[in-house]
Amino acid sequence: MPDKKQDLIDEKLQDLNNDGVDRRGFLKCMAWAGTGLVWSMSGGIPVSRAFAKGMEKGAHKGADFTFVQISDSHIGFNKPANPDVTATLQTAINKINAMPHTPDFIIHTGDLSQLSKPSEFDTLDQALKGASAKQIYFVPGEHDMLSDNGEQFLQRYGKGTKGTGWYSFDHKGVHFVGLVNVANLKAGGMGSLGHEQLEWLEDDLEGRSASTPIVLFAHIPLWTIYPDWGWGTDDSEQALSYVKRFGSVTVLNGHIHQIMQKVEGKVSFHTAMSTAFPQPAPGTAPSAGPMKVPADQLQRVLGITDVNYLVSGRSLAVVDSPLADSGSSASLSESTLRRG
């Protein structure tokens, strides 16, 4: 069965590549989505491939690579929505470790802790020690800034970063930028990058070839999802204007504890599930915050994100998997995909 499915997918792929993409064709492809389907953006054109195809360990040494995004572990949270967030974090780590390929690194997009307590950071560090990927990159969430403006976060995870913790690095031809949009928040506002960080970002990107794939990661979404709940970044437009000229831009965020996706030109935006607790969809509850689901559902609404860089298309493919594999992907089929 998987082979037949794969043939059909490849057939569809040909059509898509030859005729360009129309929305119906793309959505038809999405209907095939399962936890094993990879969708990727290549210069704004979606391309689907079966997961793990060509991703065998060491198959494309130095070319294709994968990394994992986890988010919102909220270590220290212990309310009804999830009385044991350390256990669900461990499940997420086990899932990473069970992957056929060891990811090159892990990115944690913030809210590591619930209350910025040292014990909470310690517990997180201890758990991550058992991950197959040893290199972990962090950006803080607002919950990590609760004691003296994130001083502790910087001490633990901010080596080599600037300002409130921003930085960039290159990995096998892809340029990664970690941004901090949870510091110095203004009354009535949403997330904020600030003038200093924006200037740094402009400098950081200057002179890079437009064919360099860019990955931006930050805690609060860098596009406006739901302003009433603060789900957006006030000055992200300026940041996005700096990446406009690049051929492939992927934005990875957390904060909202659910998957949301948007494609705008050559920029694809993606928010990850939390490993701790889900939050309601915009406007479906009196406010944001921990959402209680039946105990047997919890692991279906928590998850990790596997990102595959495919050198053939200079594209990044983003696959969300819930902690509990239910056979069909709750993530891709339920995600909100909007084309800008």
List 115, 198, 281, 311, residue binding another protein (CB under 8 A): 115
Structure tokens at 235: 């000055």
Least separation in angstroms between CB 82 and another protein: 10
Distance CA(18)–CA(9), nearest Å, equals 14
Report 237-296 residues binding another protein (CB under 8 A): 286-290
> What's the min distance (Å) between Cβ of 281 and another protein?
15
Segment 142-171, which members bind another protein (CB under 8 A)?
142-143, 145-147
**Interface mask toward another protein for 216-235; x: CB under 8 A:** -----------xxxx-----
Q: From CA 314, how far away is CA 317, in angstroms rounded?
A: 10
Binding mask 22-51 for another protein (x = CB under 8 A): ------------------------------
Stretch that binds another protein, among 54-62, 74-82, 96-104, 127-135 (CB under 8 A): 74-82
Nearest approach, Cβ of residue 219 and another protein (Å): 12
Q: What's the min distance (Å) between Cβ of 184 and another protein?
A: 9
CA–CA gap between residue 340 and residue 337 (Å, rounded): 10
CA distance 252 to 72: 13
**Which of 131, 128, 133, 62 lies closest to 104 in space, CA to CA?**
133
Q: Least distance from C-beta 192 to another protein, angstroms?
A: 8
For another protein, the closer of residues 190 and 302 by Cβ is 190
Residue 56 or 228 having the CB closest to another protein = 228
Between 49 and 143, name the residue whose CB sits nearer to another protein.
143
Q: In the complex, what is the shortest distance from the CB of residue 114 to another protein, in angstroms, rounded to a whole number?
A: 7
Phi/psi of residue 283, nearest 5 degrees: 75, 0
C-alpha closest to that of 321 among 299, 294, 292: 299
Q: Which of residues 172-211 bind another protein (CB under 8 A)?
A: 185-190
| Residue 258 near residue 270, CB atoms below 8 Å | no
Cβ neighbours of residue 233 closer than 8 Å, sequence gap 6 or more: 181, 190, 191, 192, 193, 218, 220, 221, 222, 223, 224, 239
Q: How many residues bind another protein (CB under 8 A)?
A: 26
Instruction: State the nearest-atom distance from the C-beta of 115 to another protein, in Å.
Output: 6
Record the tokens describing residue 161, joined without a space. Answer: 């970063």
CA angle 149, 108, 312 (to 5 degrees): 140
Copy the structure tokens of residue 276: 């701790």
Q: Distance between CA 266 and CA 151 in Å, rounded? A: 36
Residue 287 CB, nearest approach to another protein (Å): 4
* 111 makes contact with another protein (CB under 8 A): no
Among 40, 116, 197, 335, binds another protein (CB under 8 A): 116
Token pair, residue 117, equals 């307590």
Site for another protein, rule CB under 8 A: 79-81, 114-116, 142-143, 145-147, 185-190, 227-230, 286-290
